[in-house]
């Protein structure tokens, strides 16, 4: 199984670190899972303008196809204005409506306002569900205070939650694969 992580931040590194930790947690449950982390700052994904995918630049084509070829995904975003980042929303706008059919799509968010832990449920989950993704019951919100100044995750409770999240992702995706 191929697991693709997306880091939807062009600014800092917390989202990247959070998604990386989620991918590592998944691998600790199932060492056969192949992982790839797509950090959107590494690609020039063009704004959606209504053209078919083939009309966009190579990076846009590459990233969209990496997402479409994944078996399951961890989707990470910093919380911006009580919602997801624009760069992540733009990538999601490129996808066909059945992009996540038979795929588990886990959500990882980082933010500085504790009360925004439910933003992924209200802002990201409806988009993933619309694209036919199966969203696990557990999701990960990581407050900025759980990161060290070097952007390392040092909060044991967060690491425990990441393990539970990873376990659920693997078992849900395995049960989908068994029904293929
Ligand atoms: C434009 C902007 C808007 C933000 N809005 C929110 C917000 O509404 N709620 C929140 O919890 N954090 C908000 N933040 C803080 C970021 O979500 C937080 O610092 C995040 O961990 C940054 O992730 P990164 O290091 O991957 O860029 C905002 C940050 C920026 C730059």
Percent of the residues in the chain that have a pLDDT greater than 90, as a whole number: 98
Give the residue, out of 15, 80, 116, 142, with the most ligand 1 atoms within 8 A of its beta carbon, to mutate for a pocket test. 80
CATH of domain 2-178: 3.40.50.360
Mean per-residue pLDDT, 35-46: 98
> How high is the mean pLDDT of the chain?
97
pLDDT given at position 179: 87
End-to-end CA distance of the chain: 13
pTM of the model: 0.98
DSSP 146-177: GB-TT--B--HHHHHHHHHHHHHHHHHHHHHH
Rounded Cα gap, residues 36 and 62, in angstroms: 13
Q: Give residue ranges with CB within 6 A of ligand 1.
A: 9, 11-15, 78-82, 110-113, 116, 144
Secondary structure E strands in the chain = 2-7, 34-39, 72-78, 105-111, 140-143
Q: Confidence class of residue 180 from pLDDT cuts 50, 70 and 90?
A: low
Tell me the per-residue pLDDT of 109-143, one tens digit each, with 9 for 90 and over: 999 999 999 999 999 999 999 999 999 999 999 99
């Amino acid at each position: 199984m191929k697991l693709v992580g997306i880091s939807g931040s062009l600014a800092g590194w917390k989202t990247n670190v959070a998604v990386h930790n989620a991918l590592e947690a998944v691998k600790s449950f199932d060492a056969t899972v192949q992982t790839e982390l797509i950090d959107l700052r590494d690609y020039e994904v063009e704004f959606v303008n209504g053209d078919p995918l083939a009309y966009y630049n190579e990076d846009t084509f590459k990233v969209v196809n990496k997402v479409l070829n994944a078996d399951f995904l961890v989707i990470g975003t910093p919380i911006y204005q009580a919602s997801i980042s624009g760069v992540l929303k733009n990538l999601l706008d490129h996808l066909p409506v059945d992009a996540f059919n038979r795929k588990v799509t886990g959500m990882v968010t980082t933010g500085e306002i504790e009360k925004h832990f439910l933003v992924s449920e209200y802002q990201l989950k409806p988009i993933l569900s619309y694209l036919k993704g199966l969203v696990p019951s557990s999701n990960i919100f990581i407050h900025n205070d759980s990161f060290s100044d070097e952007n390392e995750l040092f909060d044991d409770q967060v690491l425990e939650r990441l393990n539970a999240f990873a376990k659920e992702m693997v078992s849900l995706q395995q049960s989908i694969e068994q029904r293929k």
